[in-house]
Structure 1
């Protein structure tokens, strides 16, 4: 059973006509008729009562219709959701020492939410990362330290505050 066949079935059911369903689906009427006949053969029962100038659902057609609609809706949603996925790549610089912070969890959550994004991590010093963000070889960087002196064209936003504690 193919999605296209279910689309034709729903169109005939809603239009009440093979001809109108063919126009709605932008195909010729014999194509619709053939697909419906194949579907009926596959399911082992007629789906439509064919009368002059009118087509109505049989009990089998009535039973199939909500499932056919649900299947078509699910397929359409899947492709809409897929088209809304972010794609491409993200090259992210980071300083070492962030392993004990919330950063790895944030990065993991980002990857789960946007699995189509290829993520590359680059480790370097803060000054090297800032230079690479400025020259465009990094998309962004997570740095530690003061944000008082940033190169021109580089903007910053605080992601988290952590404490460094000395113990003895």
Structure 2
């Protein structure tokens, strides 16, 4: 009768509260997890990561081995050696925007992280980077080999003469 119907309605009402509660919890949990995944992706995309420079000084081939107009990666990928009409110079491969390593493409360096582009002399073609790639020291060893020091910045006009 009537009492049985009331009990059934009460029971159905309690079950609906439980189902609603479970659905609400499931929605909260899934939204929280989705938010964490999005935040982790944003952190990786925007996060600054200092490149790990294992070796900062390299002794390479003789300077004359670098052809005019050539752009050659420093071993380890943290610098570039360029030969122009004035001689040899080296620029760091670390983008001045957020520290990603730039790639050499055609006659420019391009940052794969946020799209900054630099001329081969290190000057900015377009941002988001605002500062040029720093030039680093080149010298000759006593044996006549090329030595690059990625820790020592030099003027952008400095060149190592090639005989």
Q: Shared topology, TM-score over 0.5?
A: no
- Which structure exhibits the higher relative contact order, with contacts defined as CA atoms closer than 8 Å and separated by 6 or more residues? 2
Higher strand proportion (structure 1 or 2): 2
User: Normalised by the size of structure 1, how large is the TM-score?
Assistant: 0.29
Higher helix proportion (structure 1 or 2): 1
